[in-house]
Amino acid sequence: MSFDLRTVARVVAGVYLDNGVSDHTPCEGLARVGEYVVVASAEFATLVTGTVAELEARFAQGSEAAAVTSRAVFVSESDTPRLRKILAAHGMSAVLGASASGDALHYRLAALLADDRAASDRLVASGTRVLTQVARRGGATAAMAELAHRIDGWAVLLDAHGQLIASAGAGRLHLDDAKAVALGKPVRVRHPGLQTHQVGSDLDFTGYLVVASRSSATSRIRDLASQAAALFDLVLRTRDPSVTEHLGREALVEILHGGGAQATELLRRWGVREVELTAFALGTRTRTVDLERLVERWLDELGVEHIFVGDPGLVRGFVPEHLVGELMALAAGFEPLGATSLHLGLGAAAPIDALGRSAVQAKQAFDAAFEAGASAQRYAELPTVDFVLDVISEDHRTQLGGVLDGLRGDDGDHGELLDTLRVFLSEHGAHRASAAKLGIHRQTLVSRIHRVEELTGLSMARPDDRAAAWLALRALGHEAFTQ
């Protein structure tokens, strides 16, 4: 609630008398002075109205009634030295000199509190709708980030054993506090404003949601976090495919990359009847979008089999060529939350027994879209060097890539020298920019480039050698550009 005692004093044109209750304290209730019998919460203030005689009579009923009454805030049109003396004697705060009196004052306060509750309810309802939409697109991680933003604080999601599932805001900095509060451990908590919400029912327990806010709207935050906890219970049960399914799909896609009769037979058993497929690669700069769930929904809309596998930040798969335009339209029309964006790379259509080349092309097209900030990029629309590589034979590409075999390690894989060369050429030989992108000192960059020249026999000072090195990198395809 945002309706605090300072607001009450301003609305009724009164003066706030602080006898122990801050004027920033939010209000949660209203009662007649003779009917107020229970202190609802130490964190909120309850307003009481009535005459000065009724207030004195209440105090005269005994110590227990006086103690309860003094915890409320008296609102009255009266403001006399005698009334102030009574209030001071019992340590009771008040709003005095109100512009209305009697029933008019009481009903005006009731209307103000009702409006405030309604506004708070609307904020909780709209916040819950947004959290649901965010969870559909980005899963628990994105929903946690949105929740932390809406409560102006941080949030930590723990499983039933107190292990971290997700956090947002400064949640990781307060992880020990969150665990202590959630699990009831005897640890000194350094943040007094924590709230803990159970995720799941007592019979089907999932975990804990711990939140903290800099805002004074405690009630609204509690309501929104409670709704978020129920949402996380659903998300945690449904958001990811099983590990077995993921690994199985990854193995199947690798068979397709290998090609041949085995790939053809696999697709037939998978229910795919097309003679050609087109590879795609979909990715984003952040992990606030659940790409696997997004691709599942898109392929359902297109009415095709789920031939894809998800890697961190990237989904690779295949679709029929005649649906490529629709897939590009879905990628272009998607509006992720925040400043992030989706990037789609598409290879050339290929026979179902030779899909590996299309997959490499899709990754190259994705890299180009990612660097350019484009929503979609087809391999056929890449610059001329890609067409050159596309028309030469596999043996010639292997021979061209062999120019850089000297950079392979003992295990046969390319290492940091190849990555250094790729960045150096991508930055047009600019030492400062290349070193910054690699996160190394300029002198370290110079040493690595000299080592590349020694191992390959190329000179980065000669344009022809730089061109040969770049063509060799491109000929290596995904091997060079995904390290």
Nearest to 465 by CA among 478, 477, 449: 449
Which residues does 122 contact at the CB level (< 8 Å), separation at least 6?
Answer: none
Which residues does 97 contact at the CB level (< 8 Å), separation at least 6?
Answer: 13, 14, 15, 77, 78, 79
Q: How far apart are CA 68 and CA 70, in angstroms?
A: 6
Question: Looking at residue 480, what is its pLDDT?
Answer: 44
Question: Looking at residue 482, what is its pLDDT?
Answer: 40
Structure tokens at 96: 């005095």
* Residue ranges covered by each domain of the chain: 5-99, 119-238, 243-381, 395-481
**Domain spanning 119-238: CATH 3.30.450.40:** yes
Nearest to 14 by CA among 5, 22, 24: 5
Question: Looking at residue 1, what is its pLDDT?
Answer: 43
Q: How far apart are CA 92 and CA 16, in angstroms?
A: 11
Question: Looking at residue 394, what is its pLDDT?
Answer: 63
CA dihedral 382, 384, 387, 388 (to 10 degrees): -150
How does strand 205-213 pair with strand 194-200?
antiparallel
Specify the CATH number of the domain 243-381. 3.30.70
Question: Looking at residue 209, what is its pLDDT?
Answer: 92
pLDDT (tens place) for every residue of the chain, 483 residues total:
457 888 888 889 999 999 888 888 888 788 898 888 777 666 788 899 999 999 888 888 888 888 888 889 999 999 999 999 999 988 999 999 998 888 898 988 888 888 777 777 777 788 788 888 887 767 788 888 888 888 888 899 988 888 888 888 887 788 888 888 888 876 665 665 678 898 888 777 788 999 988 776 667 788 888 888 888 888 877 645 455 666 777 888 889 988 889 988 988 888 888 889 999 999 987 666 778 888 988 998 888 888 999 887 899 999 999 999 999 999 888 876 554 678 999 999 999 999 998 998 899 889 888 877 888 988 877 765 555 665 566 666 677 677 788 787 666 667 788 889 888 888 878 888 888 888 899 899 999 999 989 888 888 888 888 888 887 887 776 344 444
HSE-CB of 337 using CA atoms within 13 angstroms:
21
Specify the CATH number of the domain 395-481. 1.10.10.2840
Vertex 87 angle, CA 108 and 69, to 5°: 65
Written as one string, the DSSP assignment of 388-430 is HHHHS-HHHHHHHHGGGGGGB-TTS-B-HHHHHHHHHHHTTT-
Tokens 């060079």 — which residue?
480
Tokens 């047009």 — which residue?
428
How does strand 153-159 pair with strand 164-168?
antiparallel
